[in-house]
A and B are shown apart, each in its own frame.
Chain A
Amino acid sequence: MGLEKALGDSFLLTKLEDAINWCRKNSLWPMPMGISCCAIEMMAFAGPRFDSSRFGSEVFRFSPRQADVMIVAGTTTYKMAKVVRKIYDQMPEPKWVIAMGACTSSGGIYRTYSVVQGIDQFLPVDVYVAGCPPRPDNLLKALMVLQEKVQRGESKGTEPGYLSDVPLNAKQPANI
C-alpha cells in the first residue's frame, strides 16, 4: 500500500474523535425526503453526471434507520410536517438535515396557510440551500459544507456530548 511506503517506519497521530468524524464525513448516507420538484435535482445530484459518490454520499437509503443525513427536498405542508418529523425521529444519531430549496428553507413562493414557512420550525436544520430548485452543484456544495461541519463535530439535531466531550453550545461554529 502507498501509505506504508510514504510513512516508512513513522506513524500518524490523531484524536479518536477526529478520526471517527473523518470517517463519518466521507460516508454521509442521505435519506431522500423528496417531496416535490427539488427531488428531481436531488436525483441528478446522485446520478452519474454530478456524481455525489465522489463525496461518499451516493448511497441513498430509503429506510431512515440506515441514513445519516436527511435531504428535505420540496414544499413541506403542515400535513406533511408530521410525516417528515416522524421519519427524522427514526434516524439514528448522529444525524444531520439539509434543507434543500426555497420552499423548504422559507416557504418560498408558497406564502400561504397550508405551507410551513421554513422547516426549521420543526426540524433542526444544519445546511440551507438556496435556489428554486437549486442546481445539483449547489446541493454538492451544501454537502461539502456539511462535511466540514461533520469534521468539526457539529450537528444541530444530535444531543450535545454525543459527537465530542465538549458540549456543542460551548464551541460556536465558524461562519458558514
Chain B
Amino acid sequence: MKEKLLEKLALKFGESAFETSEFRNELTFVVPANRIVELCRFLKEDPDLEFDLLADLFGIDMYTPHRRFGVIYNVFSMRNKFRVRLKVFVEEENPVVPTVTSVWGTANWHERETHDMFGIVFEGHPDLRRVYMPDSYEHYPLRKDFPLMGIPGSIPLPKK
C-alpha cells in the first residue's frame, strides 16, 4: 500500500512535492497550505487509495518564530486499512488554512474546535463559530502564551 501511495502521489503531484517522513511505519506528509484541499480530495476520491475517514483533525502550537501553528490531519482508508498523517504549517501573523469540509463533512466541527482553541482561521468554512468558549471570548486557550488559569475577568461571572 505504501509504495502504491507514494507512486500515485509522485505521478499526480510530481516527485518530492511534499516533505515525506516515516516513523514506525507511519507516513507523514508536510503539505503547503494552498495544496491541502487538492491533496485531500485526491486521497479520498482516487479509487485505489480511498482514504474515506478523517479520523482526526487538530491544531498544534510549536511556539517558534516561523511556522508557529500547525494543523494535523489523520486520515484512514477503511478498505486498505492504511493510515496517513498530513501536516500544514502556517505563520503566526496569518494563520489561515483552507477548509477541507468539502472533502470530509466531519471536518466541520474539528475545524471549529481548532479555531476555538488556536485561532486558526479555516478559509471557506461554512460556519466557523466557537464550540467551547463563549462567542465573545477574545483569547485562544490552547496557545502556548495563554496562561493556564486564564485571563482574570475575561469571562464575566454573574453578580453574587
- Residues 128-160 of B contacting A (Cβ, < 8 Å): 132-134, 141, 146-151, 155, 157-160
A121 pairs with B160, CB closer than 8 A: yes
How distant is the Cα of A121 from the Cα of B149 in the complex, in angstroms?
Answer: 16
Q: Could you list which residues of chain B lie within 8 angstroms of chain A, going by C-beta atoms?
A: 132-134, 141, 146-151, 155, 157-160
Cβ–Cβ < 8 Å partners of A81 in chain B: 157-158
Count of CB-CB pairs between chains A and B under 8 Å: 37
User: Per-position contact with B for A100-120: 1 when CB-CB < 8 Å, else 0?
Assistant: 000000000001111010000
How distant is the Cα of A82 from the Cα of B157 in the complex, in angstroms?
Answer: 7
User: Per-position contact with B for A66-88: 1 when CB-CB < 8 Å, else 0?
Assistant: 00000000000011011001100
Cβ–Cβ < 8 Å partners of A124 in chain B: 160
- Say which residue of B134, B149, B151 sits within 8 Å of A111 (CB atoms): B149
A112 pairs with B157, CB closer than 8 A: no
Size category, A interface? 10 to 19
Q: Could you list which residues of chain A lie within 8 angstroms of chain B, going by C-beta atoms?
A: 78-79, 81-82, 85-86, 111-114, 116, 121-124
- Say which residue of B134, B146, B157, B159 sits within 8 Å of A113 (CB atoms): B146
- Closest B residue to A117 by CB, please name it: B149
How distant is the Cα of A86 from the Cα of B148 in the complex, in angstroms?
Answer: 28
B160 pairs with A78, CB closer than 8 A: no
A113 pairs with B160, CB closer than 8 A: no
B150 pairs with A82, CB closer than 8 A: no
- Closest B residue to A124 by CB, please name it: B160
Cβ–Cβ < 8 Å partners of B157 in chain A: 78, 81, 116, 121-122
